[in-house]
């Protein structure tokens, strides 16, 4: 037990104390990471199945921590979200992704993940307008990916923001489709351009008949609604074969390519690539 500033005793489990210290440390490091240029974007290609050409890339953030090495976004995005740091980090992501995409030798689209707190921040539309214009990137080449978490809160305002983005020409994808509770009602509430079928359905496909039936149903839904359907996390040729048979329009996954540093992506896009 220790005496805190207000003169009351507080009891900590030693393990919890250690966890909180680690978290505090990560938070302090993260506050410096932008200024120290420790973030990077990697790009994972998305392939259209009809013509076997790349149509776009998803930007995925990486944190090269001076002591810890590469930190996964799964280990810092949730904390960044909690403490509001996601807003400046997310702005950096949007600006960098637009700059990078403007330098690609082909007009592929670039997809950026926007998390709920960033979406709520009021600055999102202004940031996107400014990033596009600074980079000289047409709005039609930018896509934002949102999850159900964005749609859960303040629906009016969210829809207004989505419509403003749409009016600019920015496309909107529903990420991790099928993992939440109300994926279907969100499809009705907003006309997404693209549905990204969660990786869990793809990995279920080979051992559970249900996985394949679900993918078939989502692909059909996408077709009727005029939306692109992307299967995420495609790792094997067998998964690709089935996804194609079920009628998804696009795929993304290690089978096509892992997320690549910008230079490696440029090499892939250079003449002579299989895509
Ligand atoms: P997500 O948006 O669902 O991104 C897809 C994740 O699946 C990425 O993990 C990607 O590397 C991984 N992946 C792609 N293909 C395969 C595959 O074939 N097999 C397997 N096992 N994994 C595959 P990553 O890069 O670790 O990102 C994790 C999550 O962190 C993302 O999930 C997204 O929610 C979040 N995230 C990443 N970058 C950003 C960002 O810039 N902003 C925000 N707000 N969130 C981000
Ligand atoms: Ca995503
Ligand atoms: Ca996803
Ligand atoms: Ca995810």
**Is the pLDDT reported for residue 11 higher than 70?**
no
Q: Kindly provide the b/e burial profile for residues 243-271, where b requires at least 16 CB atoms within 10 angstroms of the residue's own CB.
A: beebebbbbbbebbbebbebeebeebbee
- Residue 9's pLDDT band, with cuts at 50, 70 and 90, is low
Angle CA(191)–CA(145)–CA(266) in degrees, nearest 5?
125
Q: Is 93 in the pocket of ligand 1 (CB under 6 A)?
A: yes
Q: Are 255 and 237 in contact (CB under 8 A)?
A: yes
- State residue 129's pLDDT score: 98
Q: Is 173 in the pocket of ligand 1 (CB under 6 A)?
A: no
- State residue 275's pLDDT score: 74
Q: How far is it, in rounded angstroms, from Cα 84 to Cα 211?
A: 36
**Is the pLDDT reported for residue 272 higher than 80?**
no
Among 273, 231, 275, 238, residue whose Cα is nearest residue 253: 231
Distance 220 CA to ligand 1 centre (A): 25
- Residue 187's pLDDT band, with cuts at 50, 70 and 90, is confident
Question: Residue 182, SS3?
Answer: coil
Q: Is 176 in the pocket of ligand 1 (CB under 6 A)?
A: yes
**Is the pLDDT reported for residue 97 higher than 80?**
yes
pTM over the 0.90 mark: yes
Burial label for 143, CB within 10 Å (0-12, 13-18, 19+), is: buried
Q: Which residues are CB-neighbours of 193 under 8 A, at least 6 positions away?
A: 143, 171, 172, 173, 227, 228
**Is the pLDDT reported for residue 165 higher than 60?**
yes
Backbone angles phi, psi at 37, to 5 degrees: 55, 45
- Range in 52-61, 180-189, 240-249 with the lowest mean pLDDT: 180-189
- Strand 53-65 relative to strand 69-71: parallel, antiparallel, unpaired? antiparallel
Q: Which residues are CB-neighbours of 246 under 8 A, at least 6 positions away?
A: 212, 215, 216, 219
Query: How long, in residues, is the chain?
Result: 275
Pocket test for ligand 1, best of 73, 201, 253 (most atoms within 8 A of CB): 73
C-alpha torsion 235→237→243→248, nearest 10: 80
Average pLDDT estimate for 88-103: 98
- State residue 149's pLDDT score: 86
Identify the residue whose C-alpha is closest to ligand 1 atom 19: 233
Q: How far is it, in rounded angstroms, from Cα 99 to Cα 134?
A: 8
Distance 176 CA to ligand 4 centre (A): 6
Ligand nearest to the CA of 198: 3
Q: Is 257 in the pocket of ligand 1 (CB under 6 A)?
A: no
**Is the pLDDT reported for residue 27 higher than 80?**
yes
- State residue 5's pLDDT score: 57
Average pLDDT estimate for 154-167: 90
Identify the residue whose C-alpha is closest to ligand 1 atom 4: 60
Please give the mean pLDDT across all residues of the chain.
91
Q: Is 116 in the pocket of ligand 1 (CB under 6 A)?
A: no
Pocket test for ligand 1, best of 30, 62, 74, 113 (most atoms within 8 A of CB): 113
- Residue 139 vs residue 270, higher pLDDT: 139
């Amino acid at each position: 037990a220790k005496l805190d500033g207000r003169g009351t005793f507080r009891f900590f489990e030693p393990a919890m104390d250690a966890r909180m210290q680690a978290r505090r440390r990560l938070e302090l490091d993260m506050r410096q990471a932008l200024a120290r240029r420790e973030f990077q974007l990697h790009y994972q290609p998305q392939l259209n199945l009809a013509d076997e050409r790349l149509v776009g890339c998803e930007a995925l953030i990486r944190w090269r921590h001076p002591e810890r090495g590469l930190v996964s976004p799964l280990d810092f995005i949730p904390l960044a979200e909690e403490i509001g740091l996601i807003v400046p980090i997310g702005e950096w992501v949007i600006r960098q992704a637009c700059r990078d995409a403007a330098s690609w030798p082909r007009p592929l689209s670039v997809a950026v993940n926007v998390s709920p707190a960033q979406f709520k921040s009021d600055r999102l539309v202004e940031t996107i307008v400014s990033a596009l214009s600074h980079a000289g990137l047409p709005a039609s080449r930018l896509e934002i990916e949102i999850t159900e978490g964005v749609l859960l809160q303040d629906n009016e305002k969210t829809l207004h923001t989505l419509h403003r983005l749409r009016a600019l020409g920015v496309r909107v994808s529903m990420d991790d489709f099928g993992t939440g509770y109300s994926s279907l009602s969100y499809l009705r509430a907003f006309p997404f351009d693209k549905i990204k079928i969660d990786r869990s359905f793809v990995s279920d496909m080979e051992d559970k008949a249900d996985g394949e039936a679900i993918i078939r149903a989502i692909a059909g839904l996408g077709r009727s609604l005029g939306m692109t359907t992307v299967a995420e996390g495609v790792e094997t040729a067998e998964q690709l074969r089935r996804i194609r048979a079920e009628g998804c329009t696009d795929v993304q996954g290690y089978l096509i390519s892992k997320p690549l540093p910008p230079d490696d992506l440029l090499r892939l896009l250079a003449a002579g690539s299989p895509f």
